[in-house]
Amino acid sequence: MDRLLNQAGMKDFLKSEYKLVFFPKRQLKVPRLNYKFLTQKFGESKISKIKHVENSFNEFLKGEPIGDNFGSDHSSRAKWRGQLASQLGKVFLEVYADQNQFAGRNLASVIRNAMILSMSTQNDGNITKHLEEIGQELTAIMQGKNISGKKYNDMESLEEKLEIVHLFEDRIINMLNVLV
């Protein structure tokens, strides 16, 4: 059971015992924000929100798409997750919930942070408009305006979900690039 005390051991355990699929990460070029420039452009009062959003985006980008066998059966997944969380503890939640790019709450966090970012850049109408459009696009994608035509929560296919995660990653990079 010592192997379950670290994330690598937990991942191996979840792969072998529960047949979870850990998809390979894409190589992404994540821009670094220049806070001196951003402070001049948007003011000191907006910087803490922008930093928070950048950190949240980077956490999502560091995460992994982790597939299970529940498809769109969210209640069974929640029950299973609760049981394993009480049996396996914090490391399980870190791996499966906090770092899982397939988790709806993690995708929703990206949308929420896109909106926070757009509100933090209101000194520049072009940037604000662009960020709002990305936030609206991501919301529409989750609601079924995507290649499959399905709401994210109704998707069964891990490949469809992976496509959505890749779109979210690309839009995060786009939002950060707008601020560089």
Q: Is residue 30 part of a domain?
A: no
Q: What is the pLDDT of the chain when averaged over all its residues?
A: 93
Q: What is the mean pLDDT of residues 82-95?
A: 95
Q: Is residue 26 part of a domain?
A: no
Q: What is the mean pLDDT of residues 73-93?
A: 95
Q: Is residue 165 part of a domain?
A: yes
Token pair, residue 108, equals 């929703």
The larger pLDDT score, comparing residue 43 to residue 148, is at: 43
* Residue 3: pLDDT over 80: no
Q: Is residue 10 part of a domain?
A: yes
Looking at the structure of the chain, the number of domains it has is 1
Which domain, by its residues, includes 113?
Answer: 2-21+38-178
Q: What is the pLDDT of residue 125?
A: 84
Q: Is residue 31 part of a domain?
A: no
Q: What is the pLDDT of residue 31?
A: 97
* Residue 4: pLDDT over 90: no
Q: What is the mean pLDDT of residues 138-167?
A: 91
Q: Is residue 60 part of a domain?
A: yes
- 100-112 pLDDT, tens digit each: 999 999 999 999 9
Q: What is the pLDDT of residue 140?
A: 93
For residue 171, what are the CA distances in angstroms to 49, 54, 69? 19, 13, 27
